Amino acid sequence: MALTFALILLSIAGVPPLAGFYSKLCIILSLLAGDHVITTVIIAIFSSIACFYYIRLIKILFFTSNSKRSFWFGFGSRNIELFLGAVTIFIVVFLSYPTCFINLSTLVAISL
């Protein structure tokens, strides 16, 4: 469960080649195409600050001995485990075949 949570945090942080990286890349490229340079710089700064905190949380989860025993073992219900498993499968599928979801998100954006 800790590995799944770490994978989700890395995806949110925007580490390539996970799903969060592609979403941030598409947003930044669309802002640059629209000549919104200041907004792009602000987003890049805040994203790098947030990435520091996500990686710090992963470091605490895996390298602090007390947090593993007290937080992860015996925690969570069956629904949480199923949800985390589904999210992990989604991230792994996106990692192996990202164009499917990029095309889907483009179609959704065009329909709006």
- Give the global pTM: 0.59
Q: Note the pLDDT of residue 86.
A: 84
Model confidence band, residue 45 (pLDDT cutoffs 50, 70, 90):
very high
Among 1-5, 20-24, 40-44, the range scoring the smallest mean pLDDT is 1-5
Q: Domain containing 78: what range? A: 2-111
Average pLDDT over residues 90-102: 77
Residue 87 per-residue DSSP state = H
Q: Note the pLDDT of residue 7.
A: 82
How many domains does the structure of the chain reveal?
A: 1
Average pLDDT over residues 41-70: 81
The percent of residues in the chain predicted with pLDDT above 90, rounded, is 11
Closest by alpha carbon to 7, among 66, 62, 48?
62
Quote the CA–CA distance of 7 and 18 in Å, as a whole number: 9
Average pLDDT over residues 37-41: 92
Closest by alpha carbon to 4, among 70, 90, 98?
90
Residues 6+ apart with CB under 8 A from 19: 11, 90, 91, 94, 95, 98, 101
Q: Which of 4-8, 16-20, 51-55, 98-102: highest mean pLDDT? A: 51-55
